[in-house]
Chains A and B, each alone.
Chain A
Amino acid sequence: MDLRVAEKVNRKLAATEFDGIVVVGADNFQYLTGAPLPFLHNALDRYVAVFWPKKGEPECICPSQWESTIRKLSWIKQVHSYIESGDNVKAATDALKEIVRKVRAGGIIGIDMGRCPTVLFENLRDTLGELRLQNCDGLLSELRMNKTQEEVQLLSDVAYRTDHGIQGATHHIIITAPRTEMAFSEEVRVHCIERGLETLGYHQLSSIASGENSKQFWPYAPFFGIGGGEKELREHETLRIEMRSSIEGYWSDAARMVMMGEPSPEQKTAYDGLVALRTVAVDAMRPGVKCSEIARIISEEAKRRGIDLIEELGFGHGVGVTTHEPPYVCESDNTPLEPGMIIVLDPVVYGSRKEIIRSKDTVLITDSGCKILGWYKDWRTPFIPARVL
């Protein structure tokens, strides 16, 4: 799928001082090659890299085992492989040196220092002695935060299908005929797969937490890809569904709430509080407004209403080739919102019994404001399942 990323990279890179950039991070590699390789995140001794020159065609290096796969999946045509050895740092550096040496002596090469392991960086710096290596994380962050129309379309589709998958599964809940959290998490995952989503790789998540379990963020660690428990869903409980899935390496990050029966006044108050925070945030999200300002608005609204808001997580983040990336809706991120950014808005509150309540909305920043993507249901109210068949 051509997401028109290459054109944007060329345009942005032309406006920098870099003669080219080298990226080694699994996420950055996918972004620049268009090749989703879900195993990269766990392959810590096997280095891949893209060299993207200011002038000329991008090239990449990889272990020989992955060469034909990358050739198939990537828009980059020049793929060079290296034979692995006990010293893959050297093998990768040598391979990279061959393609980076086209840059003039004294040239500046950007590198994703936020991803590059120190040993690899030091080896590259020593090997490419005539070139100056500088951090290009800012450029990559800017590129990745501002999506192309094609990326927006894909992420919108992923968000919608995920919401649809969650909804499809919730329709199977019958309050008086309970099922276990594990069985239900599988239903959510299967419903997502049925809608063409991929539930693969190290970002994937399918988690259900109800009742006492909903007081924890990860009640079944390390079962992140499947709800691990035999606990049954019970009437009157709060049920939290979390799901992360992808298409071609572009992710959704979803969470929704189900109330197992007519909500109690306390449950209603907590959920309404969450809706109020999402509403003030969405009302404020438009180009030019800083992420920190959105965070401040959410925090102040919570104080004004006496909502038990969990502040330590921040209140949202970007999504793209990973499930959690810049910009961050938090006090410390002064990134101004721009059209084309996609934010997972995620204020998290406690219910009256310290249940963790969250309902993540995927929001696109538009020219005049913002737009919620992917609602299959109006989430201003939680889902309430049928009581009997």
Chain B
Amino acid sequence: MVVKTADKHENIICPFDWSDSIVQQGWKGKISTYDENKNLPPQAVIESLTQVLSGLRLTDKKLAVDKSRITTSLFDLMKRKLPNVEWIPCDEQLKALRIEKTKDEVDMLEVAAKHSESGIISALNHLEGTVDVPGYAISEFSERVRVHVYEFGGSGVGHLATMQGAGAQSFYAPPLQLEMLRGGELVRMDVTNHNRGYWSNAGRMAVIGQPSTEQSSAYHDNMTLKDAAIETLLPGKKSKDVFDAVILSSKKERIKFWEGVGVGHGVGVSDREPPYLDYSDNTILKPGMVIALDIYTFGPRKELIHSKDTYEIVERGSRLLSWYRSWDKLYAVTGVRSTH
């Protein structure tokens, strides 16, 4: 829990063993640790919060709280223990703060996006040398994505999934897949990773061997819709305008896409956050917003195809943060490194 006052007093409340990690990461404010031996977690937190607020003479003031995150039990306890505090939700204010990034935050997110990219590309490079005999198991490939994210400086990996062929019809499959990557299959590689707490959310496609006409065409369809989205990714446009542009292109080009999941979202201290590029979000795009553009189309075997890119909204449009190589064409794992 963080307590932050208008006169710039800052205090983190946390378990005893987390305080050193918070200091190490640059926290300059106060830290109050609670004793998990003397009280179970909810009560322990409230005791500590009460002490902090008493010290600041705030126990009868108006305090804002993130009601979309705080649990019902914890909030009930807070209200009982601090009956004279007037609690006001501040979720909209926090959303507004988080949605437009500072330059330093954009820099952190760009590095995170590059880590994803390097992780996936490097794992593919290793795969190139093994496609004939015996190749990799899917879980081995995922593991290589993770290792390369770390090797390029990433500080953590969250979601990680590789799926091929019919297995790629779902959003996610558990990591332990001993099935080998097979020639002729489309492969989807998804990873989320953070750069000191700032997240990238990436997904790429490849094909093992030379792509069939249908596979190339399916990937090209995805790029077509993506181009329509990028043209609309401009300051002053609404988030839903980007979605609508993809709908329009989809109808015009007769390309089906997965409308229900939208076409992208923000990234920041989480890997999925506002604004949401879907049918309902009227958020006006502004410079400093960082968007993971993510359009799902369908492959010849109903595989989910996407190529997820991170963009910063800038004064005159958008800036691509994530490319280490061109993803205009489907990546073909042919075993010949000179092809990429």
Q: Footprint of B on A, CB under 8 Å?
A: 36-39, 42-46, 63-66, 68-69, 72-73, 81, 83-87, 89, 111, 113-122, 135, 137, 186, 193, 196, 198, 200-202, 216-219, 221-226, 228, 248, 295, 310-315, 328, 330-333
Query: B277 → chain A, closest Cβ, in Å?
Result: 11
Given contacts A68-B169, A218-B24, A332-B39, contact A44 B69 (CB under 8 A): yes
Contacts of A202 in B (CB 8 A): 158
Query: B115 → chain A, closest Cβ, in Å?
Result: 13
Contacts of A115 in B (CB 8 A): 71
Contacts of A332 in B (CB 8 A): 37-40, 43
> Which B268-290 residues sit within 8 Å CB-CB of chain A?
270-274, 276, 278-283
Q: Are B67 and A43 in contact (CB under 8 A)?
A: no
Q: Which residue of A lies closest to B17 (CB)?
A: A217
B328 located at the interface, meaning its Cβ lies under 8 Å from any Cβ of chain A in the complex: no
B160 located at the interface, meaning its Cβ lies under 8 Å from any Cβ of chain A in the complex: yes
Q: Are B171 and A69 in contact (CB under 8 A)?
A: yes
A202–B73 alpha-carbon span in the complex (Å): 23
Contacts of B40 in A (CB 8 A): 328, 330, 332-333
A313–B170 alpha-carbon span in the complex (Å): 41
Q: Which residue of B lies closest to A121 (CB)?
A: B72
Scoring B40, B89, B169 by chain A CB atoms within 10 A of each residue's CB, the highest score goes to B40
Closest 7 CB pairs of A and B: A221-B21, A218-B21, A312-B16, A85-B280, A113-B72, A64-B260, A121-B72
Q: Are A42 and B36 in contact (CB under 8 A)?
A: no
Q: Are A83 and B260 in contact (CB under 8 A)?
A: yes
Q: Are A113 and B260 in contact (CB under 8 A)?
A: no
A58–B18 alpha-carbon span in the complex (Å): 38
Q: Which residue of B lies closest to A356 (CB)?
A: B17
Query: B159 → chain A, closest Cβ, in Å?
Result: 4
Contacts of B155 in A (CB 8 A): 222-223, 228
Contacts of B282 in A (CB 8 A): 86
Given contacts A117-B71, A224-B156, contact A200 B175 (CB under 8 A): yes
> Which B175-201 residues sit within 8 Å CB-CB of chain A?
175-176, 192, 194, 196-197
Contacts of B156 in A (CB 8 A): 222-225
A44–B270 alpha-carbon span in the complex (Å): 9
A178–B150 alpha-carbon span in the complex (Å): 21
Chain B 1-44 interface mask (CB, 8 Å, partner A; 1/0): 00000000000000111101110110000000101111110110
> Which B53-84 residues sit within 8 Å CB-CB of chain A?
67-76
A314–B38 alpha-carbon span in the complex (Å): 8
B262 located at the interface, meaning its Cβ lies under 8 Å from any Cβ of chain A in the complex: yes
B336 located at the interface, meaning its Cβ lies under 8 Å from any Cβ of chain A in the complex: no
Given contacts A221-B21, A295-B37, contact A137 B174 (CB under 8 A): no
B128 located at the interface, meaning its Cβ lies under 8 Å from any Cβ of chain A in the complex: no
Q: Are A114 and B42 in contact (CB under 8 A)?
A: yes
Chain B 273-314 interface mask (CB, 8 Å, partner A; 1/0): 110101111110000000000000000000000000000000
Query: B16 → chain A, closest Cβ, in Å?
Result: 4
A186–B148 alpha-carbon span in the complex (Å): 12
Q: Are A311 and B37 in contact (CB under 8 A)?
A: yes
